[in-house]
Amino acid sequence: MNNIKVRFAPSPTGYMHIGNTRTAVFNWLLALKLGGSFMLRIDDTDIQRSKTEYENAIRDILSWLGISWSEEARQSARLERYNAVVEKLKQQGRIYACYETAEELEVMRKQLMNKGLPPIYDRRALNLTPREVAAYKAEGRRPHYRFKLCSGIIEWDDMVRGKCRYDAANLADPVIIREDGSFLYHLPSVIDDADFGITHIIRGEDHVTNTAAQIQMFEALGVSVPCFAHLPLLTGSEGKLSKRLGSLGVRELRAEGMEPMAIASFLAKLGTSEAIEPYYDWQSLAATVDLHRLGRSQPRFDEKELKLFNTRYVHSLPYENVKKRICADSAFWNVVRGNLEKVEDIAEWENICHKKLKPVVEDAALTSLAAKLLPAEPWDEDTFASWAEELKMQSGKKGKALFHPLRLALTAQENGPELKKLLPLIGRAKALERLNGREA
């Protein structure tokens, strides 16, 4: 297939959360792998809940993740187009007016379920007489509109779920326009996908039944039906769908120092049989993606696991990926990265090594002797071993009794990078002062 094009179509009714971020990640990965384009479409037909601040935040998070788009559109600017399509489909008998209230529809639904029947709308509105319609209008009722499904089997080959097959007789005609004249998701999405040439639609499995109805909408418009992939929904660590996953904001993860490619690497492999490993750029990750490898079961998402993975990711980050964000050189980065939880933590070790520090003196006699035995520079990683061996012989101390006082005096920290690697970064002048218990 040529001219591959995907879209990410968020509703600006809230901030980006981990669920829709996963959808954006898979769309972007597929575009990269197939050499296609990625479109951002703002689905803002919900006028009451859509906000500019949410829309701006969506763009900001996508950019931070490293996802770029070559085209952008918003549904609120295309209402004239939707209305034109609606009029055409009304003339074809594919869209019809209904006058039942929400309360009446609920009663109908319960009656059907009590009889053991599926709660499918019975199309009684198609049999209304002009007199009945006039009576409803006289009551002040305003119609909602449904798309009429044609009888028959609806099927498609899903890139995740495989063969999908629905009998239209078991599906309700979807409501596409509310009583107030506003559009629901279904038809505007299809019109946009058709008009903008979307070839692949990747979204959550909660849209599977929508897809069955929307395939008939594509056909009613006389356009090609895109390829579909429905991702299994994430579950929480408690083993069921978690409300928290619907609100776990990527803004908060970003503020906590999470790496964008750590999030992408984690989400791309979650729910597959593949190990979750660090990938440092989108192209490398995209080359490994195969939607057919996604399992059908709902993957368990654990925020703690993501944070642990992010720490592991930072520990392995090449200097080239962080050099524009830090002041340290590659040698310093390679020494301390294994002790960082996030990249920004490097500032603490830069301060320890290069700025004034008040040492913690645990064993004054030992550190005083260590100062006297401190060799002259230049130093390398072998310096510490020979120095410590001499100190061990003269002090009679070893193990923690030897190394712990040295670490406290040199860094004022209980833990950290290997002292053999850290000592050359601190330098002799500061090391000497600190071993003697003086701030340096």
Indicate the pTM of the whole model: 0.91
Q: At what angle do helices 400-411 and 428-435 cross, to 10 degrees?
A: 110
Read off the tokens for 297. 């079961």
Residue 129's contacts (CB-CB under 8 Å, 6 or more residues apart) are none
State the sign of the Cα–Cα–Cα–Cα dihedral 249, 255, 259, 260: positive
> Residue written as tokens 């993740």?
65
In this predicted structure, the answer to whether residue 428 has a pLDDT above a threshold of 80 is: yes
Residue 135's contacts (CB-CB under 8 Å, 6 or more residues apart) are none
H and E: helices and strands count for the chain? 18, 10
Greater confidence, 245 or 42?
42
Q: Tell me, what's the pLDDT at 235?
A: 87
In this predicted structure, the answer to whether residue 308 has a pLDDT above a threshold of 90 is: yes
Q: Tell me, what's the pLDDT at 78?
A: 97
The hierarchical CATH code for the domain 5-69+187-231 is 3.40.50.620
**How far apart are alpha carbons 169 and 407 in whole angstroms?**
74
Label residue 167 by pLDDT band (50, 70, 90).
very high
* C-beta separation of 255 from 240 below 8 A: no
Residue 118's contacts (CB-CB under 8 Å, 6 or more residues apart) are 112, 170
Residue 211's contacts (CB-CB under 8 Å, 6 or more residues apart) are 156, 164, 201, 228, 230
In this predicted structure, the answer to whether residue 256 has a pLDDT above a threshold of 90 is: yes
Indicate the DSSP class of residue 183.
B
**How far apart are alpha carbons 154 and 260 in whole angstroms?**
39
Q: Note the maximum CA span of the chain.
A: 109
Omega cis (within 30) before 226: no
Read off the tokens for 227. 């390829």
4, β-bridge pairs: none
**How far apart are alpha carbons 185 and 366 in whole angstroms?**
73
Check: CATH 3.90.800.10 for 80-177? Answer: yes
Q: What's the angle, vertex CA 38, arms to CA 32 and CA 44, rounded to 5?
A: 150
Residues of the chain with CATH 1.10.10.350: 356-435
Greater confidence, 244 or 299?
299
Q: Tell me, what's the pLDDT at 409?
A: 97
Residues of the chain with CATH 3.90.800.10: 80-177
Q: Tell me, what's the pLDDT at 293?
A: 86
Residue 169: strand, helix, or coil: helix
Residue 172: strand, helix, or coil: coil
**How far apart are alpha carbons 403 and 409 in whole angstroms?**
10
Alpha helices in 206-302 (DSSP H): 208-221, 250-255, 260-269, 282-286
In this predicted structure, the answer to whether residue 143 has a pLDDT above a threshold of 80 is: yes
Read off the tokens for 142. 């305003």
163, β-bridge pairs: 157
The CA distances from residue 412 to 115, 142, 289, 357, in Å, are 75, 74, 45, 8
Q: What is the mean pLDDT of the chain?
A: 94
Label residue 240 by pLDDT band (50, 70, 90).
low
Residues of the chain with CATH 3.40.50.620: 5-69+187-231
- Tell me, what amino acid is at 275? A
In this predicted structure, the answer to whether residue 411 has a pLDDT above a threshold of 80 is: yes
Q: Tell me, what's the pLDDT at 392?
A: 97
Indicate the CATH number of 356-435 among 3.40.309.10, 1.10.1740.10, 1.10.10.350, 3.40.50.1390. 1.10.10.350
Which H or E run contains 41?
A: strand 37-42
**How far apart are alpha carbons 374 and 372 in whole angstroms?**
6
